[in-house]
Amino acid sequence: METMIEMHYRNTIIRPRTISGQYRGMRKDGDDEVFTFIASTSDPDRHGTVLNQKGWKLKNFNANPIIGYQHNLYGDMCNAPDPDDVIGKGRAYIEDAELLVDVVFDSENEKAQTIKSKVQRGFLRTTSVGFIELGEGHKGNDKKDEDPNLYYFKGQELLEISIVNIPSNPNAKKKSFRSQTFDALKFIYRELGGNYRFSDIEDMKVRDVIDLLDGKEPEPINEEVTTATTIRKYKYEIIK
């Protein structure tokens, strides 16, 4: 099963693509334990797209072969990137018309060793590739034995590969977003010194919140406003 979400990095859409149950096994290479995963195949995914396995550009990835956890390499709305989410290094290559990756987990990273153990014991088996689309794909052509209901990528540049939990449940994604939103509210509440209730902050415009975080105090249009608890009832004049 595959799932796809989109992230933005330097104004470029990064498309993570996740495949479940594709851990192949482990082998020894000197002192290293090398874990092999199938990172991508030419099978249609649940979103109606097909990746071109002959169109992978791997050079840049293999020059900086980051293996992440949960695609947290980019941080989120409340947190900066955590270097401990870089859990290992990898080598990507094509074999039998599939994109494979050999992973060596960071031996000095506690999170990496936890994930490695879960992979070994069968509790984690899912990899996800972050890539940029290259060229223009096309809708399937039945004259070429392609499914007209599918979109076929022309090529992809691999940016990173992550070990991920099961991400295909949309309710889990909603829960994750809801959790991040609450984290953002808590952050703003703390930065404003606890002078505003959560409901006050929820009712503010984004610009109002940014001005307050920058130390600018928006003045309410209605001069009768004297307390933070009633601030949400009024519109603000933005101080520029």
Is residue 106 located within the same domain as residue 186?
no
Is residue 74 located within the same domain as residue 189?
no
pLDDT tens profile 144-184 = 889 999 989 999 999 888 888 864 334 434 444 555 666 67
Q: Is the pTM of this model over 0.85?
A: no
pLDDT tens profile 4-38 = 334 444 444 556 555 544 788 888 988 899 999 98
Is there a contact between 11 and 122 (Cβ–Cβ < 8 Å)?
no
- Which residue range is the domain that position 191 belongs to? 173-235
Is residue 22 located within the same domain as residue 56?
yes
Residue finishing a domain among 122, 150, 168: 168
Is residue 83 located within the same domain as residue 143?
yes
